[in-house]
Amino acid sequence: MPERVADEILRFIETEALKPEDRLPSERELAELLGVSRPSVREGVKFLEARGYLAVRRGQGVFIQRPPLYEGLRKGLDEAMLTVNHLYDMREALEVPAAGWAAKIGNEEALEAVEETLRALNAKADEPVKDWTALQDLDVQFHMRIAAAAENPFLDQTLGVLNDLIREGLRTTIHVQGRLEKSRLDHEAILHALKTGDEAGARAAARRHIRAAYRTAMRANATESAGSTEA
């Protein structure tokens, strides 16, 4: 029971896009939202606290925190001389197998969350005045929900690093003319493979998407460097 409720709490955090230092609803509210008893919520919180996902602060509530593995990985990334190549190599290493696992598992609820996010992303992209921050957030959420649908414990521990990798890549590509349209087609292909249980197709679609984003990032960096030299 504690593990099952812990999974429900993690899914709630992911669905609500809560971040480290955000406070969870009260025990009573969370029990109602998850449809479980308050003692079950209490046990689930203890389970996640012991694994570094939550911090219980007396008199304040329960707060989300990064698991310890994240901090070590993030520190290593901060100290490394990261390049665009490193960034997209790591995205491919994490996201391609995640897409395959998600397609193979076929968790309907998790895949519905992926589709729901893509609908929101496409709707936001269709607006005449682009809200680039909202577009980036939804794009990241789309990929993060695929990772969550993979149900892999290692990915669960490294989702924060993956989030950072995706955001860093999007900063370079999201404003490039035509990228939103191409990205939409890539996303639709990934979702189709996920929903049809096509593991190989999901991996291939995710790989194509990441490599296309990589090429866009390289062109954008080259243009920026040329502009800086001319200035």
Please state the rounded mean pLDDT for residues 39-45.
Answer: 89
Residue 20 pLDDT: 81
Which of 8-12, 60-64, 116-120 tops mean pLDDT? 116-120
Mean pLDDT of the chain, nearest integer: 83
Global model pTM greater than 0.75: no
Identify the pLDDT of residue 229: 40
Per-residue model confidence (pLDDT) at position 231: 42
Instruction: Check residue 112 and give its pLDDT.
Output: 93
List the Cα angle 118/96/104 in 5-degree steps. 80
Residue 127 per-residue DSSP state: S
Number of C-alpha atoms within 13 angstroms, CB side, residue 103?
A: 24
Buried b (16+ CB within 10 A) or exposed e, 85-113: eebbebbbebbbbbbbbbbbbeeeebbeb
pLDDT of residue 102 exceeding 50? yes
Instruction: Give the pLDDT of residue 230.
Output: 46
Task: Please give the pLDDT value at position 169.
Answer: 67
pLDDT of residue 195: 97
- Name which residue leads in pLDDT, 179 or 82: 179
More confident residue, 227 or 85: 85
